[in-house]
Structure 1
Amino acid sequence: MEVTYIWINPVVEQMYEEYVLDQFLKRHGLERVRCRTDWGRIVKEKYIRLITEGGETVMDARCPMACGLVKEWAEDKSSCENSGPLKVNEQMEGYSMKIADIEPILIHCAREICSRQELKDGRKIITTPCQALADMGNSLKLYNTRFFSWNSFLETLGERPEGNVPEFSPIPPGFFRELGQRTMSLTGRESIEQCVQDGSWQRVRLVEMLYCRDGCHNGDGVVTDEA
């Protein structure tokens, strides 16, 4: 019988008591796996190198929804100016910005789980705090690996463990606060749109962007009916 391994994202992990979650997964024949590598540290180091080596303002790429807003703005700006396609890494009024070509931490974690030799014969499930990250993960077509938002995964099981969405996000704004560079932290669609439209991004070296206000615990993949 094929083993099904499951990786639980940090938001979901904080929604339940460890015993409750472990028993729930065991009841459904799921074997929980964890990463061996500190991908959060590695991703942060990648951003440090990026802002050190280049002169552009770097836009955080950990949140697909936030990146989508920046790309939409660039396309709208190009259309209004009738100057041909505008890429987010082109010069604008003496400044330039670019979305980091760095995958989200969750994707790094999934790639590790997918590549581990001792897990190669089992099916892998990667849970996400939002549908956007699940769609991004599934688009990679990693071998024998499926991404589900936590809510959609629970729907497939037809059961929910007892838990609550955490009041404070385990993925809060401030990930880049200690980089020693000028940074800006934004959460929520409105603040991201205002930043790119009013040019305030030009004052910093790196713009952190989370589409969900106050952090990923407000993602559409983890909000429960009770919350």
Structure 2
Amino acid sequence: MTYVWINPVVEKLYDPKALTQVLDTLGMTRFINQENHVQDVKNHYQEAVNQATSCVIDQRCPLAVQHVQSHYPNRSLTYPQIQPILIHAALEARKNCPSTALLYITTPCQSLAELGDSLALDNTIFLTWRAFVQKFKVQLAAKKLTASPIPPGFFELKTGQKIANLCNKNQIDFFFQQHQEETTTLAEMLYCQDGCHNGDGVTDV
């Protein structure tokens, strides 16, 4: 038995019935999460903010985090040990699928696929949706997405806590070049323009 977890971006790209039919043809069973990972992650960030003494850096986008760490290494920042929602969902899928079953985790970008692979989960393969389509020769008419399923403005903190919504590389650089982290509680960061629907794992599909 082979299972596949479909990321939220891909869910929005296709007609649900058509996507299910393709997976059935491939002999794959789709895993549907039962846990509310979105709310769990939000709660973890609020806890991190409550304990931090410097700007908390959103860990949702590995590429954005890598950019900040490499270009602004000497800043006073808090990097919480909170995995992206996609990784939380993948861990639930791996836990609940039969241990011997192969599990594909689709991602909207290469950086999330690489992060997933670094966990070395048994019988689990992380790959971008574009790579999945190429590997299994999926042919489906895709929609053009204009917004991310998990868009900027994801966080809601307490009154008096300031959030910076940084929605592309240029905004991230401007934020740190101006040292705005010194007066910011949490920096929400998306490396791809406006969100994961413009990730390198979906744009060419």
TM-score of the superposition, structure 1-length normalised? 0.86
Other-structure match for 1:80:
none
- CA contact 1:151–1:221 (8 Å) conserved in 2: yes
The 5 A counterparts of 1:48-197 are 48-75=46-73, 86=74, 88=75, 96-116=76-96, 118-176=97-155, 178-180=156-158, 181-197=161-177
**Structure 2 alignment gaps of length 5 or more:** none
Shift, 1:119, TM fit? 2.5
**Structure 1 alignment gaps of length 5 or more:** 76-85, 89-95
Whole-angstrom CA distance in 2 between matches of 1:136 and 1:222: 17
Instruction: Letter of the 1:44 partner, please give it.
Output: K
- Report how many aligned residue pairs link the two structures: 203
Can you list the C-alpha shifts for 1:149-169, whole angstroms capped at 9, x where unaligned?
000111101232111231221
- CA contact 2:64–2:190 (8 Å) conserved in 1: yes
Whole-angstrom CA distance in 2 between matches of 1:102 and 1:132: 16
Whole-angstrom CA distance in 2 between matches of 1:202 and 1:35: 38
Other-structure match for 2:186:
206
Instruction: Letter of the 1:220 partner, please give it.
Output: D
Instruction: Letter of the 1:120 partner, please give it.
Output: S
Can you list the C-alpha shifts for 1:92-120, whole angstroms capped at 9, x where unaligned?
xxxx312222110100111111112x532
Instruction: Letter of the 1:103 partner, please give it.
Output: Q
Instruction: Letter of the 1:21 partner, please give it.
Output: L
Can you list the C-alpha shifts for 1:3-38, whole angstroms capped at 9, x where unaligned?
110000000000011111101111111110111111
Shift, 1:64, TM fit? 0.4
Query: Aligned Cα RMSD in Å?
Result: 1.3
Other-structure match for 1:14:
12
Shift, 1:195, TM fit? 1.0
TM-score of the superposition, structure 2-length normalised? 0.95
Instruction: Letter of the 1:13 partner, please give it.
Output: E
- CA contact 2:22–2:138 (8 Å) conserved in 1: no
- CA contact 1:69–1:193 (8 Å) conserved in 2: no
Instruction: Letter of the 2:173 partner, please give it.
Output: E
- CA contact 2:109–2:200 (8 Å) conserved in 1: yes
